């Protein structure tokens, strides 16, 4: 009985932490220095041309061709990976049934695609397929420690089977 309450409390803390993370991530991805008055739909053709739909184009640019400070390179490449590691970490801990790595990959890709689409539609940034690739990689990286942590939390065999089976 006490163990069940502990697990429920742990899951509740994980879910609240996950929500806080998602709010912070949304602020960092969509609203970095944007005022509410800046919201409007993009119908300018030139704005759509500044988007990147070619995989690895932006990554290659920042890693090999950009004549910019190293901090900017790290922020643009590693920041997209690191920002989504918690997403992959929290999913196995928060969900009643432990997701597979493929589920985490697809969920991360969908979240990232949603952010990129909103950025483009509301002129909050540019759509970049490389951001989706890097974000998705980050989510998958976070999955391994998240799954390990969920297995440790549900180490009691009955709790483990309940977690794996979604009970």
The 10s digit of each residue's pLDDT in 75-126 is 889 999 999 999 999 999 998 788 999 999 999 999 999 999 999 998 888 9
* Cβ neighbours, 10 Å, residue 137: 18
Residue 124 C-beta-side C-alpha neighbours within 13 Å? 21
Task: Find the mean pLDDT for residues 135-146.
Answer: 97
Closest Cα to residue 134, out of 91, 92, 94, 74?
Answer: 74
Residue 35's pLDDT band (cuts 50, 70, 90): low
38 vs 5, residue with greater confidence? 5
Residue 154 has a pLDDT of: 74
* Cβ neighbours, 10 Å, residue 22: 14
Q: Is the pLDDT of residue 4 over 80?
A: no
How far is the C-alpha of 153 from the C-alpha of 3, rounded, in Å?
Answer: 11
How far is the C-alpha of 124 from the C-alpha of 157, rounded, in Å?
Answer: 48
Closest Cα to residue 86, out of 26, 141, 131, 15?
Answer: 141
Q: What is the average pLDDT value for the chain, to the nearest integer? A: 86
The two tokens of residue 84 are 């989504």
Residue 157 has a pLDDT of: 45
Q: Classify the C-alpha dihedral 63-67-70-76 as positive or negative.
A: negative
Q: Is the pLDDT of residue 47 over 60?
A: no
């Amino acid at each position: 009985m006490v163990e069940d309450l502990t697990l429920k409390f742990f899951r509740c803390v994980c879910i609240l932490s996950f929500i806080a993370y998602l709010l912070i991530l949304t602020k960092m991805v969509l609203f970095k220095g944007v005022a509410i008055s800046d919201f409007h739909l993009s119908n300018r053709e030139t704005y759509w041309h500044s988007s990147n739909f070619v995989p690895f184009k932006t990554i290659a640019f920042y890693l090999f061709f950009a004549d910019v400070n190293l901090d900017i390179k790290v922020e643009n490449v590693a920041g997209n990976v690191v920002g989504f590691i918690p997403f992959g970490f929290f999913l196995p801990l928060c969900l009643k049934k432990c997701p597979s790595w493929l589920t985490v990959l697809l969920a991360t890709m969908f979240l990232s695609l949603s952010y990129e689409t909103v950025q483009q539609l509301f002129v909050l940034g540019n759509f970049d397929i490389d951001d989706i690739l890097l974000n998705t990689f980050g989510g998958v990286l976070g999955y391994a420690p998240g799954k390990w942590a969920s297995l440790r939390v549900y180490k009691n065999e009955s709790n483990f089977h309940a977690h794996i089976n979604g009970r």
